[in-house]
Amino acid sequence: MIGISVKDLAVSFGETKILEDISFSVEAGEIVTILGPSGCGKSTILRCIASLHDDYKGEIFLNETCLVNDGRNQCNKDIGYIFQDYALFPHLNVRENIEFALYKLKQDEKQRRVDVLLKQFDLFDHRHKQIHELSGGQQQRVSIARVLAYEPKVLLLDEPFSNLDTILRNKTKVWLKKMIKELGLSAILVTHDQKEALSMSDKIAIINDKKIEQFGTAKELFEKPKSYYIANFLNRINKLPTKLIEDLGSSITPENLAVIPIDKIEVTADSSKIEASILDISYCGDYYELEVSLNNYDNLELTVKSFCIDCLTSRDKCYLDIDLKDIQIVREKV
């Protein structure tokens, strides 16, 4: 089965190291997301795979074939690249943009394949429109249809939803995920959006300090982060002091940290629980966010997500209930 395998990839721009020791693989029908902050080298990985950047160390395999031949990267028709800005031709209409990828085919075969794509992507009624006449979502579908026209086995997606509004983004994610699975493509998605990565991916690679800090399923990374960086990047969390952990009947080693998601702390009026002073209450629609200070733990400040504040007898003080099972123990650094 065709897939992509990246082994020991390292990229430098001059004397500046951008990436090092990057290794991961993507099986057919699998979506792997490369997640990390802006500027961490995510798109550079895609550019190396797509033969748009060949000044790197390491190896990239398509199935079992190395993409570097005689010292040069070889562009491969089995790899499709969808750019952030869609890269459509403004002087061509929808049909002509998709046909552009099929210039080597005979006219009748070209028309047949384009008609199939236009219907599959719900673009048939827009086939004669110019690009500027389309919505953002329609432009994106044209971009994806053009790439899929030449039937690649690997799909590279560079921030494909960044130009869409929230509602359209969610609809497009569901549609694209289904399309990738139905076609059995090996897909690599680059994003800095944590929720997008968690909802789209079979596996996630999180980049930190030029390397992949953790690679695994979305559930593994979210529920069992290896480091504080991973836990904090995927979720909103609080650090908990060692003394509090000990008072709860547990302990941690010096190289580890105890963290807890902000929605795992319960606000209560039970005075036998952890006392806290309320610094601020923010209404966030379907929940409240409380900024609190732990009175008996050096006034450590925490953020707490609560779906109800009716239990509060005072706007100045509350009590927090923390369950040991909700606490994650992570390494400060990997």
The pair of three-digit structure tokens given for residue 209, joined into one six-digit string: 């300090």
Whether the Cβ atoms of residue 250 and residue 324 lie closer than 8 Å to each other: yes
Position 226: which residue type?
Answer: K
Three-state DSSP state, 21: strand
CB 292 within 8 A of CB 304: yes
Sheet of 186-191: strands edge to edge?
79-82, 154-158, 186-191, 31-35, 203-208, 211-216
As a whole number of angstroms, the distance between CA 39 and CA 55 comes to: 18
- Contacts of residue 317, defined as CB under 8 A and 6 or more positions apart, other chains included, come to 275, 276, 277, 278
Give the tens place of pLDDT for each residue, 56-105: 999 999 887 777 654 455 557 789 998 877 789 999 999 999 998 888 88
Quick one: how far is CA 144 from the chain centroid?
A: 19
Where helices occur in the chain by DSSP H, the ranges are 42-49, 94-99, 107-120, 136-149, 166-183, 194-200, 218-223, 228-234, 242-247
The edge-to-edge listing of strands for the beta sheet with 288-294 is 266-268, 317-321, 274-283, 288-294, 300-306
Tell me which long-range contacts 120-126 makes (C-beta under 8 A, separation of at least 24): 120/145, 121/145, 123/94, 126/94
Q: Kindly list the domain boundaries of the chain, sorted by start residue.
A: 4-225, 236-331
210: Cα separation from own chain's centroid: 17
Q: Residues with Cβ < 8 Å from 186, sequence gap 6 or more? A: 2, 3, 4, 26, 27, 28, 29, 30, 153, 154, 155
Q: What is the pLDDT of residue 167?
A: 79
**What's the pTM value of the predicted model, to 2 decimals?**
0.86
Q: Which CATH architecture has domain 4-225?
A: 3-Layer(aba) Sandwich (3.40)
Kind of pairing between the strands at 68-69 and 72-73? antiparallel
pLDDT at 101: 81
- The pLDDT tens digits along the chain (334 residues) read 668 999 999 999 988 999 999 999 999 999 999 999 888 999 999 999 998 888 899 999 988 777 765 445 555 778 999 887 778 999 999 999 999 888 888 888 889 989 998 988 889 999 999 999 998 888 988 998 898 888 899 999 998 887 777 777 788 888 888 889 988 999 999 988 898 899 999 999 999 999 999 999 999 999 999 999 999 999 999 999 999 999 999 999 999 999 999 999 999 888 899 999 999 999 999 899 999 999 999 999 999 999 887 777 677 889 999 999 999 999 988 7
The candidate with the shortest Cα–Cα distance to 122, out of 137, 103, 107, is 137
Q: How far apart, in whole angstroms, are the C-alpha atoms of residue 314 and residue 276?
A: 11
User: Can you say how many angstroms the Cα of residue 322 is from the centroid of all Cα atoms in its chain?
Assistant: 30
Mapping DSSP to helix (H, G, I), strand (E, B) and coil, where does residue 146 land? helix
